[in-house]
Structure formats: structure tokens, C-alpha cells
Amino acid sequence: MSSALRFTPLTLSILAALTALSSATHAQEQTLSSVTVTAKGYAADELETPAATTVVGADELRARGASNVGEALRGKPGLAVASDGAQGQNPVIRGMKKESVVLLVDGMRLNSAQPAGAIASFMSLGLAERVEVVKGPASVLYGTGALGGAINVLLPQARFGVGVGGSVAASYDSASRGVRGTAVLQAGSDDHALMLGASLARIDDYEAPSGRVDDTGYDSDSFIGQYRFRIDEAQQLRVSLQQHTDKDVWYPGSTRPHPSPMVGSTTVHSPEQTRVLAEVGYARKGSGDAPLNLDVRVYRQEMQRQIYSQANKLQRDVGRSKVSFDTTGIDARADWLAHPEHLLSFGINAWSMQASPERYLASPTPMSPRVRNDPFDNGQMEALGFYVQDDMRLGKLGILAGLRHDRVKGSADAVGAVTTGLDRSDSAVSGSLGAIYEVSPLLRPYANLSRAFRAGEMRERYESSPRGDGFHYLGNPQIKPEIATQFELGLKGASDTFSYSLAAWRSRITDYITGQVTGAIINGSPVKQTVNLGRVTLTGIEAQARWQFAAGQWFNAGYSRVRGDNDDLDEPLFQMPADELSLGWEGRIAEGWTADATVRHVARQGRVATVFSRGTEDATPGFTTADLGVTYRWSKQSVRFAANNIADKAYHEHLAEGVSGQEIDAAGRSFTLAYTAAF
């Protein structure tokens, strides 16, 4: 048995202690519950869900001062960050990167074939009310791509009967000299509700211990709006709009040497990128002994990007691409209390994404013109999925069973001069079966077995051209889908003074999709090709706990360990996150005043791929950082002062992109001042 799944004497001692504690306090304790909508597809108690989840609420998001989803989740057990710049912070779940994580905003997936940066940055986190994460295969609800799990960013919703109200927030941090401001307005009567929100950020290049890091600043603007109309007590209509724009975004982690000495090196940047989403939805709330709830939405999302590659010696762009990833989708979901012990849910999800990039490339001479060289023409991805799920409650035993069928098709008119052999359709069945048993409120063991899949994305199929990072990419239109099977054992529980979760898991992925350096050279550039590996195995253990050891004083702890193995090459899997431990305290220090402190220790990551990466992955030293914060609250307002990385530690995450040994450092010591108010 894998060490990640082996119960040690210490683990058994902890279980015994928890059993005793839960038995002693069962009579008088009040169980705290955290509700999540992402794990089951509808609002459900996390303590009754046989899966590992993470929820970051509004207060914690504000306290962290995060600019994007990756920063918001950094340090959480089972989660990591892959970055290629300050804005490009992609969340990683259990070692699975952006291609294997479904990112949602208000339940709608952010489709894109992302060549650089973070798809998770295409919305303003300043507007988010919470971020929910489901760790582990989640294809039953979310279809292709959810091998690692799903992340759902929940934005404010228009509310009936609130009159006029809202909130404002502003902050400044010293490392990037960044200024951020957010405002949300709510206006609602009995039958009409309107919500408007805006968030702006002006971020400069941040300061690391070694000095200011070039090309890490950017500007960001985000606007949202929603109108709801109550048809009657059971039915509602809604219209939602979202727009997010980033300007002057650079990805210093993409800097690579170029084979031409005249070019020197290249760096990818994006002068402007925009996401626009429009949604029309209908919701019906059931009544009676067997209520049927229904939600239907139709949406259109356009992600427009300018992706340029600068020749750093020439100080001009040798590559320029413009592309819009346009997705039209429909989601229909229903849940039906068919029996007091059976809550059935079922749904259909369908979407189609189109893109036809325009790319212009120049030869490596000072004044050579850029010549059109499109990577592919009229690429399209189509997906259609049906699912059914039964949430059963049999006394203290909860069982969650789900089954889904998907069909995913990829097509393109041309890849360079190739016009045949570009279409491929794949069908897949996903499933999950989990059980959780309440021994007591503080002791709820669970187990689940789940299967998920990921069809190759557009770039992996059709990207066949030189790119600004110095590689010549070769796509594979006939790439086979990945299939992941995971088994997980866990414990969770909560009382009014103590909550915890513990999970050990093992996942096996067949036909693992990755980009592999081949050693070949095309037109002077090394080749990286999309391939299927035979099989990879990932195992891990994660734990978190929160304990009120005195009135108003809380202790927090989290631990994460992931191991990945390339079974084909008998070596560690490429770019796995390092082990880490976080310890924290937060508590009341005076009337209206609270304080908090967090220490994050990340171990050295020496388990690197050597054969697969051809020497492009290096070991990363371990590091420890400490953060402090003080918050004063009065009425509906608060002021917070925080010091991050107070020891000015020089470090970078193992998953930071960059030439081996030359990755950019994370931000150094930074002081943040933030103000929030509700009205």
C-alpha cells in the first residue's frame, strides 16, 4: 500500500482521541456546518459530503489581499500555484494543473485554450464573495477536464427586498505599489432586484528581496451586473453580464533563450485581454412533499487575447497573435426530492467553443516584416453531457452516487497545409460513489471512488507552429482522452470549538496528456510535442484543523503532501508541488480589534523529472514565510494592516515557470493597508 494511504500509529492515536472527544462532547455540542454548492451541484452541508472540499469566504479573501484565484488558494491543503508572472497565477489541485481543473464563475465554465498566463485571472477576485474547491475527479457534474477537481468563484447576486445597500473596499500594498478598489450596489424590492459591481486595480512591478522584478505590473478592470425578476413565489428570471479587461500584462516566467543570437531571448506579453459573458437564466423552486427545483441558463462568453512575443535584444515583437475563444453554452439542472431519503439531481450541459487565431511571425533580423503564419484555422470544440446523481440519507449513513455520459468533438479546417485527419470524437462515462457515516458530529469517516476524463484541448490538438517561448510546438489532432480513477479515504468533523478534515487518496491516470521535449529541431527551434503517456500515478495526504483553544482565540493548521510517478519512465512526475505545512493563529486582542499570524513552511522539492524533462526541471530549495495582520472593526466598517513575508525571504514556488535555475522570485516584504465598509 502507498505510504500516502498507510495508517501510522500516530494516525490511529489521533483517531482514538477524536473518538473519545466526540463521545464526551456529543450531548452538548452544536455542530458547525459549511454549505457548498459546488460539490453536489446544489447547496449542501460540507460535513455530509463524502469528498474533500475547501471554501474561502469573503472575510478570508479580503484578509489575504489576493489579486487572483491562485493567490487566494496558495497554502491551502491539497492546493498549489503554477505561475509565469504576477498576474499568471494558476491554481493546481493535487498536482493537476490548469488543463485538468475546471474553473467556473457562478457555475459557468471559463473555456479557453490558454497559451500563457492564468485563465483564473479573467475575473476580478475583488468582487468575489467566496471561492469553493472540490478536490478530486469531478466529471460527473462538470464534464471534461475535471480530473483534478473544480473551482467555483461565486460573485454577488441580485437580492430581493434589500432596499438600497452595498459595499466598498480599497487597498494599497507596498511591494507592488498596487492600488485596488471595489464597489457593489444592491437595490431590491419584492419582485425586482438589481446588482451592479466594479473592481479596478493598478499594479506596478513588485519588489523582491533582490530588487524590483521587471514586467510584473498590469492594470485590471472588472464590471458585473445582474437583474432578477420574480414571476411568482416559485419562479424567477435573471440576466447577468460580466466584463473583465487586463492591460499590459507580461509573463516573465515565459522568458526563454532563442536560437538566434540576434534575438537573444523572448518574453510573452499581452497588451490587452478581455472576457465578456452574458447569461439569461430561469429558476423554479418546487413545493410540496416532493419538490422539484429547476435551473436553466443560456450563456455566451468571449475571451479575446493579444499574445505577443518580444525579442528582448531587438526590443520588438517577433510574434503577434490575436484570438477570440468564443463559447456558447446551455446548462439545465434539476433536483427532486423523490423520497425523504433520496434527493435526485440530473442535468444536461452543452457548449461549443470556436477560435481561429491570427498569428504573425518575423524572422530574427532587426527590420524583417511579420508574416502571417496561423497555427490553425477555424478550430472548434463541442461537448454534450448528461448526468444523474442520487444523494441518499439512510439514518447516519450518507451515500452519493453519480453517473455521466459525455461526447466531445474537436475539429479544424486546417493546421498549416494539413486539411485531413483533424477531426476526432470521443465518448466517455464518468462515475462516482461515495459514503460518509456520522459516528458522532466530530467523527465522520468517508470513502469515495470516482472516475473522470479529459479530452485534449484545442491547443493540444492543433498547435503546430513556432511559439514565442523558443519551442516549435506540434499538436496531435488524434490525441486520446485521459482517464483518471481515484480512491479516497477521509475523516471530517466539527463542533462549535473544533473542526478538521483529513484525506488520503490515490489516483491513476491512463493516456496522460502532456507536452514532451522530443530533442528534434525544426527551423532552429527545439520541438515540444503533445503526447499520451501510458500511465501516471499520484498519491497524497492532506489535513487541516481549526481549534478554539480559548475564548475568541483560534489555532489553524494545514498539511499537504503529493507524490507523482511517471510509470512509463519510472521517475517522478514532472512538476509536482512540494510538501508544505502551515500554522496560524487569529484572535480578539481588544474591543473591536483582532490579530492573526501565519507561518508557511514549504519543503525542498528534489523529486524532479530528469528523463522526461531533458534536464529542464531543477530542484527547488525549501523556504519559510511569515505573515502578520491586525484588523479593527466598528459598525459596518473595518481597517486592516498586514505585513506579508515579514522576513523578506527570497524564494519561488517549485511550479514557477522559467528557465531552470532562473525563475523569478516571489514578492518580498510587503505592507498592506485595506478599508472595507457596508451600507
Give the residue carrying C-alpha cell 485571472.
Answer: 121
Question: In 3-state terms, what secondary structure has residue 271?
Answer: strand
- Which phi and psi (to 5°) does residue 180 adopt? -130, 145
pLDDT for res 120: 67
In angstroms, rounded to a whole number, what is the distance separating the alpha carbons of residues 205 and 392? 52
In angstroms, rounded to a whole number, what is the distance separating the alpha carbons of residues 431 and 397? 20
In angstroms, rounded to a whole number, what is the distance separating the alpha carbons of residues 373 and 113? 18
- For the beta sheet containing 52-57, the strands, ordered from the edge strand earlier in sequence to the opposite edge, are 52-57, 130-135, 149-154, 101-105, 108-109
User: Which segments of 340-378 are extended strands (E)?
Assistant: 342-355, 358-362, 370-372
> 593-602 and 623-634: which strand pairing?
antiparallel
Q: What is the CATH number of the domain that holds 606?
A: 2.40.170.20
pLDDT for res 374: 87
Profile the chain (679 residues) by mean pLDDT over runs of 10 residues: 39 38 37 77 93 93 87 93 84 91 91 68 84 95 94 95 95 96 96 97 95 94 97 97 94 83 88 95 94 96 91 89 93 95 96 92 80 90 97 96 97 90 95 97 97 92 68 85 97 96 97 83 78 92 97 97 94 94 97 97 95 85 97 96 96 87 90 96
Question: In 3-state terms, what secondary structure has residue 46?
Answer: helix
Give the residue carrying C-alpha cell 442520487.
Answer: 390
When divided into structural domains, the chain yields a total of 1
Listing DSSP states for 468-521 in one string gives TTSPEEE--TTPPPEEEEEEEEEEEEE-SSEEEEEEEEEEEEEEEEEEEEEEEE
Give the residue carrying C-alpha cell 524583417.
Answer: 368
How many of the other CB atoms lie within 10 Å of CB of 114?
23
* Percentage helix, strand, coil for the chain under 3-state DSSP, each rounded to 5: 10, 60, 35
Angle at 593 between CA 589 and CA 596, to 5 degrees: 65
pLDDT for res 463: 80
Can you give the pTM of this predicted structure?
Answer: 0.91
Which residues, in sequence order, are CB contacts of 443 under 8 Å at separation 6+? 15, 18, 19, 22, 491, 493
pLDDT for res 389: 98
In angstroms, rounded to a whole number, what is the distance separating the alpha carbons of residues 410 and 262? 38
For 56-79, b where at least 16 C-beta lie within 10 A, e where not — what string?
A: bebeebbbbbbbbbbbbbbbbbbb
Chain-centroid distance of CA 315 in Å reads: 34
Question: In 3-state terms, what secondary structure has residue 87?
Answer: coil
Angle at 66 between CA 63 and CA 69, to 5 degrees: 125
Bridge partners (DSSP) of residue 361 are 319, 371
pLDDT for res 14: 38
Residue 326 belongs to domain spanning? 3-678
Give the residue carrying C-alpha cell 466517455.
Answer: 428
- Asked if residue 53 lies in contact with residue 135, where contact means CB atoms within 8 angstroms, the answer is yes
